[in-house]
Amino acid sequence: MRRGQTGEYQTISLTGSESYRSFIPAPLPPVPLLQIDENLRDLTDRALLALGRLDSVSALIPDTSLFLYMYVRKEAVLSSQIEGTQSSLSDLLLFESEGAPGVPTEDVQEVSNYVAAMNHGLEQLRGGFPLSLQLIREIHQILLSKGRGSQKDPGEFRRAQNWIGGSRPGNAAFVPPPPDRVMECMGQLEKFLHDEPLKTPFITKAALAHVQFETIHPFLDGNGRLGRLLTTFILCAEGALKEPMLYLSLYFKKHRQEYYDLLQGVRLDGDWERWLSFFMSGVKETADSAVQTANALVKMFEKDRQKIGEIGRMAGSALRVHHALQEHPVVSVNRASRLTGLSIPTVTDSLNALTKLGIARELTGQQRGRLYGYQEYIGILNQGTEPS
């Protein structure tokens, strides 16, 4: 439904002759209210069913934390790639294992910050902290705590104008609200998240809030990454997911231009329904993919345990090292020793045995400071994270 422009423009005059127009979005929910036709209702129902299947899978995985450890990192890599970093999942795992990633350290630091920010937000929500402006600022502070962006007021709503595309506001593709309107817009968004003025179904709330956050662009940097995180935080805060197992960055990356066009389409034409159709399709596709990945990992772990069980007297220690690799898919001998409580010689022998079985692979080619990776595990999660 084309409602027309979903906000107002404010003309800002600069010194000299140039001026620009910044866009101030109207509060949510949309006016007139959403028109849910049969097709959109069907897409929404399919997305909800897929979310339900994904949520139930978390109860079937023997150790959900093992899956989430890697899945969260995959999301961090993908979301940062959308913003232009070139780091891969393997780069991040090497960085966390004190190895040397194959891209500039700043790229990997940005991804590592994303992991820390995500974990902080989820821990606060689990502890009963509401999804609020305070929490959003806390998450942003961690997101930009180190490396690139750390000089751009982490944790503070912007006090300067930003813009998207172009070299200045005057030739930008889109200019968000002026800084003196940011707090007003974010306060309205917070009320919407808390079901004011009216209750909104959680999946629709997540879809609308993502667009509104990206339109406000409340920070000087990190808005895209935090806006994508917001979707998962809403689903967890609303109780739709017990574990944070849905991330849309791969879907947005695959359909990047359509994603940007639809965001702008909402602002200019008020076509929230087209955006909702895209979002619901993304939720279904992403949830189905996550279920397939979780099932594939469970089967892989069991297959590898059976192979290890057949190697004789080394099987017990090799199984302990195998479990450590599930927690940390790239490890050094020293780290595997700390994780398992086994001696350095025993860990070395176990890793050699796992390498012969094709489960682990030595990554450095060095005699000292070797790192070992759980190859098939990394390969499954790596799908779609290759820098483009």
Q: Say what the pLDDT of residue 102 is.
A: 59
pLDDT digits over 51-103, tens only?
Answer: 999 888 877 676 677 677 777 788 877 887 787 766 777 777 777 776 555 55
How many residues are there in the chain? 388
Q: What is the DSSP string of 271-286?
A: -HHHHHHHHHHHHHHH
Confidence category of residue 354, pLDDT binned at 50, 70, 90:
very high
Write down the mean pLDDT value for the chain.
89
Confidence category of residue 2, pLDDT binned at 50, 70, 90:
confident
The mean pLDDT value for 347-365 works out to 93
How far apart CA 311 and CA 117 sit, in angstroms, is 42
Beta strands in the chain, from DSSP E residues, in sequence order:
7-13, 19-25, 330-332, 360-362, 371-374
What percent of the chain has pLDDT above 90? 61
Q: In this model, does residue 104 exceed pLDDT 80?
A: no
Backbone angles phi, psi at 366, to 5 degrees: -100, 160
Q: Say what the pLDDT of residue 25 is.
A: 97
Q: Which CATH architecture has domain 7-293?
A: Orthogonal Bundle (1.10)
Neighbour-count burial for 331-364, b at 16+ CB within 10 Å, e otherwise: bbbebbbebbebeeebbbbbbebbeeeebbeebe
Q: Say what the pLDDT of residue 148 is.
A: 73
Cα-Cα-Cα-Cα dihedral sign, residues 248, 282, 255, 155: negative
What region, left, alpha or beta, does residue 177 occupy, with left being phi > 0 and alpha being psi -120 to 50 degrees? beta
Side by side, which strands form the sheet with 330-332? Answer: 330-332, 371-374, 360-362
Q: Say what the pLDDT of residue 350 is.
A: 97
Q: Candidates 1.10.10.10, 2.30.42.10, 3.30.420.40, 3.40.1080.10; correct CATH number of 310-382?
A: 1.10.10.10
How far apart CA 309 and CA 314 sit, in angstroms, is 9
Name 113's Cβ contacts closer than 8 Å, sequence gap at least 6: 142, 143, 144, 145, 146, 147
- Least confident segment among 23-32, 65-74, 112-121, 296-305: 65-74
Q: For the chain, give every residue range classified as CATH 1.10.10.10.
A: 310-382
Q: In this model, does residue 368 exceed pLDDT 80?
A: no
| Residue that has been written with the tokens 């404010």 in this structure | 10
Q: For the chain, give every residue range classified as CATH 1.10.3290.10.
A: 7-293
Confidence category of residue 279, pLDDT binned at 50, 70, 90:
very high
pLDDT digits over 282-339, tens only?
Answer: 999 999 998 888 888 889 999 999 999 999 999 999 999 999 998 888 899 999 999 9
Q: Say what the pLDDT of residue 387 is.
A: 62
Contact 166, 205 (CB under 8 A): no
**pLDDT: which is higher, 91 or 352:** 352
How far apart CA 9 and CA 186 sit, in angstroms, is 17
Q: In this model, does residue 124 exceed pLDDT 70?
A: yes
The helix/strand/coil state of 376 is: helix
- Helix (H) or strand (E) holding 86, with range, is none
Q: In this model, does residue 277 exceed pLDDT 80?
A: yes
Strand partners, 332: 371
How far apart CA 209 and CA 226 sit, in angstroms, is 12
Q: In this model, does residue 388 exceed pLDDT 60?
A: no
Q: Say what the pLDDT of residue 310 is.
A: 94
Q: In this model, does residue 386 exceed pLDDT 70?
A: no
Beta strand pairing status for 371-374 and 7-13?
unpaired
* Cα–Cα distances in angstroms (integers) from residue 69 to residues 42, 101, 116, in the given order: 33, 19, 12
Contact 287, 248 (CB under 8 A): no
